[in-house]
Structure formats: structure tokens, C-alpha cells
Chains A and B, each alone.
Chain A
Amino acid sequence: MYTFSNRLKIGAIVLMALGILGMGVGFVSVPSTPEEARAMVTAHDDDGHGGTHAEESEHPAAAGEHPDAAEHPAEEAGHAAESEHGASHDEHLMHQLQNRPWSALYVAAFFFFMISLGVLAFYAIQRASQAGWSPLLFRVMEGITSYLVPGGIVIFVIFILSVMHFNHLFLWMDPEVVAEDKLIQGKAGYLNPTFFLIRAAVFLGGWILYREVSRRLSLAQDEAEDNKNFVKNFRWSAGFLVFYLVTESMMSWDWIMSIDPHWFSTLFGWYVFASMMVSGITVIAMVTIYLKSKGYLPDVNDSHIHDLAKFMFGFSIFWTYLWFSQFMLIWYANIPEEVTYFVTRIEDYKLPFFGMVAMNFVFPLLVLMNSDYKRVNWFVIMAGIVILAGHYIDVFNMVMPGTVGDQWFIGIPELGAVCFFAGIFILWVFRSLTKVPLQPKRNPFIEESRHFHY
């Protein structure tokens, strides 16, 4: 049995406290009037951050031609009609600044939720493929997926608040915007608040249901006399994978792609999938290495770590493949309605946009290519930290440009939100790891897994 070390528990609670503080600062320092927003941005630019921002705010008319126009057509259309360009621009600015703490919260909430969902998918694949190496890690994976419940609730609450107009994360939820926007009107059959919430409930419900059923069967298998529970779990996992592939794809349209409601991409679901898969596997590897270093997983050997590191390596490349396929097809064809997505990102998010490619591709490629390095625990941890940071920035890049535009910064609200959710994540995951023995007793493959070596 694993006992939650006090140091880790206190660390997690401190993280949460710091996070609440940071998020609080973020929410308090939001401007409430357009003038205030204007003053904030001017002061901000005087700090020397982003000279281009200042230039744009000086020339609101030029901002009308800015590709951002496609993102917020209603507001931009308002621009053209109004003679007072400046006032409308300041209002736009105010919305962006008001969105910032919410987006920070949402990015972090989604990032940690996505990790546990990725682990759940990986776990289901291991069960459905009857992998012989991984049963030793099933309890670790089940521990990480326990975060689905609190993480899912937080996400759902954020959606309810969005639907109730506490924030402007989703442009299409604002009836005033929709009234002036033909394109969103055309999508209203799918993108309407009620249906959105129902879908989110179905997705979350389905994922959590599988997690709970599979966990129960997995524990029952330990006490059983035969393999009935194992077979049942196999069937549930295979069924879940079908459900997951459909719902994951729709989830990515709903929760992320709809932040830019004028834009669409067909492989977006896969792209988000690759991101969650690689972060999930990375977290499995990191938690496993941590528990092993504390002596709780005596049968886990270097070969298990090697396998996880291979998955980290492979899925990092898979993620890059999808990232590039999405980027290159749109860049190459350069169709205005699609390319705005990347134009805003390259103009306003140059460093995070290309930085994440270095963190998520070049770094793991070079570090995890060598077979010997994949067996060195601190190497895997180091690569894991970079990969996780890279995928946080990936989610950041998916969400932020549509909500805060060029007013982004990774500052107190963002770091606060990450700290807060990291705290809950650690607390919840390690608490659930203490509940059952870390090694399944009579999984049909446990012997093979124990002697696994590569």
C-alpha cells in the first residue's frame, strides 16, 4: 500500500493556495471599463513589452484590416460602421483583458483534465490490446484517471458559467454577436448553449462511467477466482475506445475549436488527441518513476520505463506530424478563411507557437532517441517536464488567441491557474493511489509484466 507522503501533500496544498492567490489577483486586476483597459494596455506597453501592440493600439483603423477581424467579425463590423474607431477598439480591448483570467483558468483546467483523459485512453488501449508489459502500471494509470471526476466537474462548471455569460470565452454563446454574424448563425444548430452543455455532459458522463466500471472490474479481478472480470473489462475497454474516438473528436470541436467559431479544421480532433496522449503517457512515466524511487513499485524495472519513454518519443513525433499537417496544408493553400487562424498565431504568438514545436518535437527527438537514455530515470523526468510544459503551451496556443488575442502573457493568472490545478491533480491522484495496493494481484498478464524486459 502506498502512503501519501506528508511533504507531497503539503506541497500540493501550498500549490493550490498559491494558485488561488494568483488567480484571485488575475480576476481582481481586470478592467471594468474600456477607458481603464486602454490605460492598462498603454502602461503595459510602456514597460517595453511588445512594441507591435502599441503600434496597433495607436492605429485602430489598421487593426480593422488585421486578420483578427475574422475572429471577431461582429466587433470589427461595428468598427467600420462607427465613426469613433477608438472607443470600439477600447471595448474590444476590455473584453480581451476581461477574458484573460478566465482563459488562464480554462487552459489549465483543460490541460490537467486532458492528461487524465489521455491516460484513460492509453489504459483502455493497453486493456483492449492485452499488452503484456503494462499490467504492473494499471494501478498507477487508474490513480491518474481518478482526476477525471474533479477535473470534469471544474470544466463543466466553467461551461455553465460561460453559458450564463460570466465570461466571453466562447463568442458564439453571446446572442448579440450571433445576431450580427451570419456564419455563426449558420452553425447555431450545433453551436448552441443547450446542446453544447448536453454534449459536454454526455462526453464527461461516458468517460467517467468507463473509468469507474473499469476500475471496479479491475479491483474485482484481484479478488476473483476466475478471469470473468478481466474479460468483461476487455469488452468495456474495446467499447470505450470506439466511444472515446467519436466523443474526443467532438469534444475538441466543442471545447477548443469553437473558441474560433469561424475557423474549422478536419484533423483538429486528432491533433488534440495526440497532445493529450503524449502528456498522459508522460505523466504515467513521471508518476511511475516517482513511486519507484520511493520504493513502492519494486517490480517495475528499467524496461517498463523504456517502453513508456518510447511511447513519449513516438507520440511526440505523432503530435508534430499532426501539427505540421494541419499547419502546412493551411499555409500552402492560404485560403483566407482558414489561414487567419495561423496568421494571428504567428503574428501575436510567435515565440509560444514556434517554441512549442521545439519543446514538443526537437527536444524529445534528440533526447529520447538514444535507447540507453530512455532507461535513465532522470533523463525521462527531464524530457517529461519539457514535454508537459510544451503541451501546456500547445493548449495555450489553441485557446488564447481566440479569447485574449494579442493581450496574452504568461503571468500571474496563468501560472496561478497552473499551480492550482497541479495542486488538485497531485492531491487527488496520489490520494486515490493510497486506496488500493499498487500492484494488481491476479491479472492474467501480471507474471509476464513482472518479468518484462526489453
Chain B
Amino acid sequence: MASKVIHAYFNDDDILMQAVKKVKATKHHIEEVYCPFPVHGLDKAMGLAPTRIAITSFMYGCLGLIVAIVMMNYIMIVDWPQDIGGKPSFSYIENMPAFVPIMFEMTVFFAAHLMVITFYLRSRLWPFKKAENPDVRTTDDHFVMEIEVHGDEKGLMTLLQESGAVEINKVEK
């Protein structure tokens, strides 16, 4: 189904923020905003839900810790409890200080890498992905707000013009 969207171009992040607030106030749905750099507070202005990636990271960290403990308990204590330099390998807790560096690193490793991979999956990023930006200028010095059109198209156009858009395009999508 072909749907129409409006691409409004801005060349200043402050003006963009004001425009986003205005458009939100008129109940228009902002599909996407393309920025060359992170604009502080834009997510709040757009009303995006907060990210939960820190929570996933915490869980991955716990997983890493468990992997480290189970692995070393099996290798060093259960499978072949050798006397290596007099270290007490009778139980995990007795030899634990020696395992802490690995427990720590595994926790960080899992937390960091799995979180990054989660980020790539959720934001659909991979090496041969086709770039999605509607205009190359959005990676340099322009901001593009993409708005769904329904109903009052004229009103939206004037609103955008008034709020400082330098260019407004109607695009079939």
C-alpha cells in the first residue's frame, strides 16, 4: 500500500526540537527523525519509551557469572581436582579468590558483548545493510522529520513552515 509521508528538513537542532514539540501537540504521528548526531532530549520530546538495554545487560552479566562459576567448578574442582602449587581445590569456595578475576571478566564480557549484539539486532544493523536515511544530508548537517499524512495535510504543511523547516517534501513511500 502506498502511503504518503512528509519530509521536513531542519538545519538546527534547537529548531527541530521546537518543531517536534509543536507537531506532537497537534497529534500528528512522527514516524522518524533523522539526525546527524544525538540531540539531547529528542527521545523525550518524541515520547519514545525508555530503552531496556541496561536490563538485558544486567541479565547477560548474571549469565556470564554463572557460566564462569559452573565452568571453573567443573574443571578445577569436580573433574580433575589437582594440587597445583598447594591451592586448595577441595571445594569451590576454598579456591574462589583465584577464580574471581575470571568470574569478573566473564561477567563483563557477557554483559558487554551480548548487549551490543542485542543492540544490533533490535536496531537492525549488520555489515551489508542498505542505508535507510532518506537524504544523504541527514548524515552531515540536516535533520529530517518524517510525518505520516492523514487528514489535515495543509495545516501540517503550514505548521512545519512556521516552525522553521528549510525544505518540505511530500514523498510516496
Q: Check A369 against B58 for contact (C-beta < 8 Å).
A: yes
Select one of A332, A369, A371 contacting B98, CB under 8 A. A332
B155 within 8 A of A: no
Q: In the bound complex, how far is the Cα of B58 from the Cα of A334, in angstroms? A: 35
A331 within 8 A of B: yes
- 10 closest A-B pairs by beta carbon, nearest first, are A328-B97, A331-B97, A332-B98, A324-B100, A328-B100, A332-B97, A327-B97, A369-B58, A334-B86, A371-B54
Shortest Cβ gap from B133 to chain A (Å): 30
Q: In the bound complex, how far is the Cα of B100 from the Cα of A328, in angstroms? A: 9
**Which residues of A (360-379) have their CB < 8 Å from a CB of B?**
369, 371
Q: In the bound complex, how far is the Cα of B97 from the Cα of A369, in angstroms? A: 24
**Which residues of B (87-117) have their CB < 8 Å from a CB of A?**
97-98, 100
* Chain B residues with CB below 8 A from A371, complex form: 54
**Which residues of B (103-159) have their CB < 8 Å from a CB of A?**
none
Contacts from B to A (Cβ < 8 Å): 54, 58, 86, 97-98, 100
User: Would you list 12 pairs from A and B whose C-beta atoms are within 8 A, ordered by A residue?
Assistant: A324-B97, A324-B100, A327-B97, A328-B97, A328-B98, A328-B100, A331-B97, A332-B97, A332-B98, A334-B86, A369-B58, A371-B54
Q: In the bound complex, how far is the Cα of B81 from the Cα of A201, in angstroms? A: 54
* Chain B residues with CB below 8 A from A324, complex form: 97, 100
Shortest Cβ gap from B50 to chain A (Å): 10
* Chain A residues with CB below 8 A from B58, complex form: 369
Q: In the bound complex, how far is the Cα of B58 from the Cα of A369, in angstroms? A: 10
Shortest Cβ gap from A112 to chain B (Å): 32
**Which residues of A (327-348) have their CB < 8 Å from a CB of B?**
327-328, 331-332, 334
| Nearest neighbor of B98 in chain A, beta-carbon distance | A332
* Chain B residues with CB below 8 A from A327, complex form: 97
Shortest Cβ gap from A22 to chain B (Å): 37
Q: In the bound complex, how far is the Cα of B103 from the Cα of A324, in angstroms? A: 13
| Nearest neighbor of B54 in chain A, beta-carbon distance | A371
* Chain B residues with CB below 8 A from A369, complex form: 58
| Nearest neighbor of B55 in chain A, beta-carbon distance | A370
| Nearest neighbor of A330 in chain B, beta-carbon distance | B97
**Which residues of A (301-344) have their CB < 8 Å from a CB of B?**
324, 327-328, 331-332, 334
* Chain A residues with CB below 8 A from B54, complex form: 371
| Nearest neighbor of A331 in chain B, beta-carbon distance | B97
Q: In the bound complex, how far is the Cα of B97 from the Cα of A334, in angstroms? A: 12
Q: In the bound complex, how far is the Cα of B86 from the Cα of A327, in angstroms? A: 17
Q: In the bound complex, how far is the Cα of B62 from the Cα of A369, in angstroms? A: 14
| Nearest neighbor of B87 in chain A, beta-carbon distance | A332
* Chain B residues with CB below 8 A from A328, complex form: 97-98, 100
Shortest Cβ gap from A377 to chain B (Å): 21
* Chain B residues with CB below 8 A from A332, complex form: 97-98
Q: In the bound complex, how far is the Cα of B86 from the Cα of A404, in angstroms? A: 31
Q: In the bound complex, how far is the Cα of B98 from the Cα of A328, in angstroms? A: 7
Shortest Cβ gap from A366 to chain B (Å): 10
Question: B-facing mask of A10-36, CB < 8 A → 1, else 0?
Answer: 000000000000000000000000000
Shortest Cβ gap from A372 to chain B (Å): 10
| Nearest neighbor of A372 in chain B, beta-carbon distance | B50
Q: In the bound complex, how far is the Cα of B86 from the Cα of A334, in angstroms? A: 10
Q: In the bound complex, how far is the Cα of B88 from the Cα of A427, in angstroms? A: 51
Shortest Cβ gap from B38 to chain A (Å): 15
Q: In the bound complex, how far is the Cα of B54 from the Cα of A371, in angstroms? A: 10
Shortest Cβ gap from B18 to chain A (Å): 19
Q: In the bound complex, how far is the Cα of B100 from the Cα of A332, in angstroms? A: 12
Q: In the bound complex, how far is the Cα of B95 from the Cα of A334, in angstroms? A: 13
**Which residues of A (366-414) have their CB < 8 Å from a CB of B?**
369, 371
* Chain A residues with CB below 8 A from B98, complex form: 328, 332
Q: In the bound complex, how far is the Cα of B86 from the Cα of A1, in angstroms? A: 64
Q: In the bound complex, how far is the Cα of B98 from the Cα of A371, in angstroms? A: 32
| Nearest neighbor of A334 in chain B, beta-carbon distance | B86
Q: In the bound complex, how far is the Cα of B86 from the Cα of A324, in angstroms? A: 20
| Nearest neighbor of A321 in chain B, beta-carbon distance | B104
* Chain A residues with CB below 8 A from B86, complex form: 334
